[in-house]
């Protein structure tokens, strides 16, 4: 069973992303998941243990009055997590799941980190939403070493 670290300030949201990707499969996921709710906790967990894959949200900070939208998006703590992985855990791959951002520049920034294997951004289209879940399901199946059956 492969180990997966899930990092999201809204614990149930990311876990439901993983669960939703496996809705058509048995309720027992073929992954051992550890869930944390802060970037600090994720970094500490990565210091203690090796995780081949991290599924994380953006950890976008609360905007302050007068703050530029891009400063909010680019100020997310996820960048600290990505830098840690690049510097100290180069074998760890990261997948970012965003329920907030649709910014192409932000996605480009995330993908510039060699540890990032995929980015799932917010979409307004049901079709694109389903396509992203199918893509996430394939990524997790490949990671867990199971054959996808859709």
CA dihedral 137, 142, 143, 145 (to 10 degrees): 120
Q: For 65, which DSSP code?
A: T
The residue that leads in pLDDT, 131 or 13, is: 131
In this predicted model, what pLDDT tens digit does every residue of 99-145 receive, in sequence order? Answer: 666 677 788 888 999 999 998 877 777 888 788 888 888 888 888 88
Closest CA to 36 of 17, 56, 51, 63: 56
pLDDT confidence of 85, banded at 50, 70, 90?
very high
Q: For 143, which DSSP code?
A: H
The domain 2-144 is placed in CATH, from the list 3.40.50.2300, 3.40.50.150, 3.30.465.10, 2.30.30.90, at 3.40.50.2300
- The token duo for 10 is 């809204």
Q: How far apart are CA 147 and CA 58, in angstroms?
A: 29
How close are the terminal C-alpha atoms of the chain, in Å? 21
Dihedral sign computed on CA atoms, order 65, 66, 67, 69: positive
In this predicted model, what pLDDT tens digit does every residue of 28-69 receive, in sequence order? Answer: 667 788 888 888 999 999 999 999 999 888 876 566 677 666
Q: Is 101 in contact with 121 (CB distance < 8 Å)?
A: yes
């Amino acid at each position: 069973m492969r180990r997966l670290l899930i990092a999201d300030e809204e614990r149930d949201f990311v876990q439901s992303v993983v669960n939703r990707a496996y809705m058509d499969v048995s309720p027992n996921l073929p992954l051992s998941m550890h869930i944390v709710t802060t970037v600090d906790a994720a970094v500490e967990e990565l210091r203690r243990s090796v995780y081949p894959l991290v599924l994380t949200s953006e950890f976008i900070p609360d905007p302050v009055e007068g703050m530029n939208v891009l400063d909010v998006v680019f100020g997310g703590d996820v960048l600290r997590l990505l830098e840690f992985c690049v510097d100290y855990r180069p074998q760890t791959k990261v997948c970012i799941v965003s329920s907030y951002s649709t910014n192409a520049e932000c996605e480009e920034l995330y993908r510039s980190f060699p540890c990032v294997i995929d980015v799932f951004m917010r979409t307004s289209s049901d079709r694109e939403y389903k396509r992203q879940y199918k893509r996430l399901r394939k990524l997790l199946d490949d990671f867990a070493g199971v054959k996808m059956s859709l």
